[in-house]
């Protein structure tokens, strides 16, 4: 009887040691690896592309995950239905004393304008296509022309097909140029 108990304790200790080693090995790994999306892929995988101003936000739990709901004033619809307002859900945020950060999730700012690539799920909830890849900041250059820009996310990204690690670079172009590219990519079809 004692031999069986010692064998069982030894097995439990080995399993516990294995799980501890596994946890130490996994802990430093990033929480998410994103698939790199080109501008054309962002456009075709999105159900809507809008220029919008952030007008409000709130957070809540959806299952065990926290989502921040960003309220939007739609200034221009480049793809999808015309509408005056909307709401987009971004994973992460704070509810009470619980805080969650999600790798690759963009951070929006109240009152700021963005060009957003969006997709709507079957449940009717709207999300950012490609997480931070689907958010471009809007500003004006010295000649007052509207500029769209996106900083490299810094998150690991993989190239579709080859699954090689891709280093994302900063993106900046005239708003009129991205509108033309979205129209060209959108006319070739495809939605999520």
Give the domain extent around 154: 34-187
Could you count the other beta carbons within 10 Å of the beta carbon of residue 37?
21
52 and 122 belong to one structural domain = yes
Q: What is the CATH number of the domain that holds 125?
A: 2.40.50.120
Q: pLDDT for 22-59, tens place per residue?
A: 343 443 434 457 788 999 999 999 999 999 999 999 99
134, part of any domain: yes
43 and 24 belong to one structural domain = no
Look at phi and psi of residue 159 and say left if phi exceeds 0, alpha if psi is from -120 to 50, else beta: beta
192, part of any domain: no
162 and 109 belong to one structural domain = yes
69 and 55 belong to one structural domain = yes
- For residues 57 and 94, the answer to whether their CB atoms sit within 8 Å is no
12 and 75 belong to one structural domain = no
Q: Is residue 115 predicted with pLDDT exceeding 70?
A: yes
Question: What's the whole-number mean pLDDT along residues 157-166?
Answer: 82
- For residues 56 and 110, the answer to whether their CB atoms sit within 8 Å is yes
List phi, psi (to 5°) of 66.
-95, 135
Total of domains in the chain: 2
pTM: 0.78
- Strand 157-158 and strand 34-35: the pairing is parallel
pLDDT of residue 165: 86
23 and 117 belong to one structural domain = no
pLDDT of residue 67: 96
12 and 59 belong to one structural domain = no
24 and 52 belong to one structural domain = no
80, part of any domain: yes
């Amino acid at each position: 009887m004692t031999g069986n108990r010692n064998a069982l304790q030894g097995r439990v200790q080995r399993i516990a040691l294995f799980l501890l080693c596994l946890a130490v090995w996994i802990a430093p790994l990033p929480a998410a690896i994103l698939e790199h999306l080109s501008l054309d892929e962002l456009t075709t995988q999105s159900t809507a592309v809008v220029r919008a101003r952030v007008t409000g936000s709130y957070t809540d739990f959806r299952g065990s995950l926290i989502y921040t709901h960003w309220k939007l004033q739609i200034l221009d619809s480049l793809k999808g239905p015309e509408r005056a307002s909307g709401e987009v859900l971004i994973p992460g945020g704070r509810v009470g004393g619980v805080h969650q950060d999600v790798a690759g999730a963009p951070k929006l700012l109240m009152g700021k304008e963005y060009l957003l690539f969006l997709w709507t799920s079957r449940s009717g909830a709207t999300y950012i296509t490609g997480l931070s890849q689907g958010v471009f900041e809007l500003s004006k250059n010295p000649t007052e022309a509207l500029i769209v820009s996106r900083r490299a996310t810094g998150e690991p990204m993989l190239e579709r097909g080859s699954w090689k690690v891709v280093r994302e670079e900063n993106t900046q172009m005239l708003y009129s140029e991205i509108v033309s590219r979205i129209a060209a990519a959108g006319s070739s079809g495809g939605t999520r």
